[in-house]
Homo-oligomer: A and B are copies of this chain.
C-alpha cells in the first residue's frame, strides 16, 4: 500500500481545484493500492470527498498564503495544511506529498522537515518539458538561484534518476545549458561544471547545449541553475500563450479561416494538448529523503490530477532509494579514480 499526503488548501483556486483533481484522478486510475491523506478543512472536505481510501486530517482553514515569506512559514507554519502534510510524510506516515501552495514556503518546509539525502545540499525543482522527439527533464527551475559547479553535478545525477523513472531511459543523455555549444563559451562556473560532469562516473554527458536544444530534444536531461531554468521555463510558457493568441487572431480574421477552423479543430487540439502546461503539471523537488511534488499555483482539476499521477508513479518506483544508490555509486567511482591516481 502506498500513502500520499495531499495539501488540499494550497493553490490559487483553493479546495475546489484539489477536490475535483483528486476525484478526476480516482475516476481515471486504479487506486486499489493507494491511500490518500488529505490535509485541510474537514467540514468542507468531508462534504465533497469520497471516503474510500481517503483519510481526512483536519487543519481547519489554516493556510500559508501565497505571499508568505519562507522564513515566516518555517516559524509560524505549524497547524497549516501544508506544514502538517509535509510533516506527516517526514514522520514516515506516508510516502510522498503534493501541494499547489506557496513555492518558497513549500521548498523551505520540505527541506527543513524532510531533509536532504546524503551528498545533496539543496533539493532542485524538476520539470518534464515536451519536445519534438519526446520530452526533456530540466532542472533546476527556481529552487537555487546561484549554483556552484558541485551543485550542477548533483542536479545531473538527480536528473538521471528522474529520467529513469519518468522517461524510462536507462542512460539518459545529459546536457549542460549554456549560450553556445563550444567548450570556450560561458562563465567560469560552467567551465568547471563541464569538467566535473565529463569526469563523473556513470553519466552520459553530451556537453553544452543551448536554449534551442530544449525543444529540439538534443538531450534527455538539461541541467542549469535555478535562475536561468526559471526564466527559460517561463519564457516558454509566455511564447506558447503568444502563439496561441496569434493563431486565434488569425482564425477569426476571415470567414474562410473560421470555416477552416471547423475542419482542423482536432489538429489544433492535438497541438494545444501537447503544449498544455496542465498535462505536465507536478514538478518533483528532488534530493529530499521523501518524495515531494510541487503542483503549479494556478492548477485546476486537470493539473492537480496530473500532479497526483506523477507522485504515485514516483512513489511506486522507489525513487528516493534509486537516487541515493546512484549518488553513492558516483561518489565511489570518483573515489576509486582518485586512488588510482
Contact = CB atoms under 8 A, between A and B. Distances in A.
Nearest to A249: B270
Given A235-B232, A266-B257, A267-B247, A242 B131 contact: yes
A186 B69 CA distance: 14
Interface residues of A, number: 64
A140 to B, nearest CB: 11
Interface stretch (A74-82, A111-119, A177-185): A177-185
Contacts of A268: 247, 250
A210 B274 CA distance: 23
A297 to B, nearest CB: 11
A28 interface: no
Contacts of A228: 227-228, 231
B227 A211 contact: no
A239 B179 CA distance: 16
B239 A215 contact: yes
A332 to B, nearest CB: 34
Interface string A291-311: 000000000000000000000
A154 interface: no
B267 A263 contact: no
Given A228-B227, A239-B239, A257 B264 contact: yes
A233 interface: yes
B253 A238 contact: no
A250 B267 CA distance: 4
Nearest to A177: B231
B187 A211 contact: no
A145 B266 contact: no
A234 B211 contact: yes
Contacts of A177: 231
B243 A243 contact: yes
A228 B230 CA distance: 10
Contact of A211 (B231, B261, B267, B271): B231
A280 interface: no
Contacts of A240: 239, 243
11 contacts: A177-B231, A179-B230, A179-B234, A215-B238, A246-B275, A247-B267, A250-B266, A250-B269, A250-B270, A257-B264, A260-B261
Q: Which 4 A-B pairs have the closest CB atoms?
A: A211-B234, A260-B263, A260-B264, A250-B267
